[in-house]
Amino acid sequence: MSNERPLQTQTAVAGQGPTTAKAKVGPEETPLEALSSMCTILAAGLFVMAFIFQNFEIPSGSMENTLLIGDHVVVDRITLSPPTKWAPFVHYRPVQRGDVIVFMKPNPETPDLILVKRAIGIPGDRIHLRHGIVYVNGVAQNEPYALMPSDDGDPNDAYTPYRDDFPSDVAGVQQQATANNAALWAEELPSHIQGDDLVVPPGKIFAMGDNRTQSLDSRFWGFVPQENILGRPLFVYWSFRTPADQENKTSIGDRIGFMFHIVIHIFDGTRWTRMFHVIR
């Protein structure tokens, strides 16, 4: 058992034993000091949210069933960013095949558009699809998360050569790229094809959505420059059932109306089983 006791200041007084002196109470915190403390905490929080973690909402179904419309995710903005000398203690690594990445859409026709896709090919990889199956460097990929073309009669998911046998039908891909405001990629595409494969150039990533038949991705607008990558989503912190066409409703009235819808249906509209779902 420890014999340590709190330190006490003792004073010798004639005819009496040691006495304990009362501790002096410091001055109370002024309003200005309290405000300064709050600002420091706020600045630290803003730094973390702006440069280390950030939240994004998934607006479309191109990554189903990995990510659903209405998922709100926390994004790690450090791991995949270029290393810096001022923070050598931070873990950095290059993008790997299979990473889910958040990035700025590369083609200049639609600037400032943030997308979420899966990295399929890294620099030097040779890629082609056959009936929706991805081949990287001649090896068919096992992708249990991917939604593939089906023969169930749904025209949206039916096998389509230019999409599911990419890049064999160059003319078909070019037509779709032009229709989706990616005319530059339509011109550039043939220069990256060698034999049956598309070859990923240095500094670029080939990305696709997991919902392969419903995803506008690198097949239709080109490679993702590594400097466009913002980070990787870590987990879903909240998920709310959201209509597929909600992203197209951009008027103030539509936005306010959906906000009221969320407030009214916060409990029955939340996908509770998605809370803290780790993204892989």
Q: What is the pLDDT of residues 211-246, one digit of tens each?
A: 999 999 999 999 999 999 999 999 999 999 999 998
Note the pLDDT of residue 13. Answer: 39
28 domain residue, yes or no? no
5 domain residue, yes or no? no
194 domain residue, yes or no? yes
Check which CATH number belongs to the domain holding 236 and give it: 2.10.109.10
For the cut 60, the answer to whether the pLDDT of residue 86 exceeds it is no
| Type and span of the H or E element at 32 | helix 31-47
Check: CB of residue 117 under 8 Å from CB of residue 101: yes
Note the pLDDT of residue 80. Answer: 86
Rounded mean pLDDT, 95-115: 87
21 domain residue, yes or no? no
Report the percent of the chain where pLDDT is more than 90.
64
Note the pLDDT of residue 5. Answer: 39
261 domain residue, yes or no? yes
23 domain residue, yes or no? no
221 domain residue, yes or no? yes
256 domain residue, yes or no? yes
Note the pLDDT of residue 84. Answer: 59
Check: CB of residue 118 under 8 Å from CB of residue 99: yes
Q: Using alpha carbons, list the distances in angstroms from residue 60 to 56, 67, 209, 212.
A: 12, 9, 10, 13
Q: Look at the pTM and tell me if it is higher than 0.75.
A: yes
Domain range for 154:
55-278
Note the pLDDT of residue 44. Answer: 53
**For residues 111 and 181, what is the distance between their CA atoms, to the nearest angstrom?**
11
Rounded mean pLDDT, 33-54: 58
3-state helix, strand, coil in the chain (%, to 5): 25, 25, 45
Domain total of the chain: 1
Q: Confidence class of residue 130 from pLDDT cuts 50, 70 and 90?
A: very high
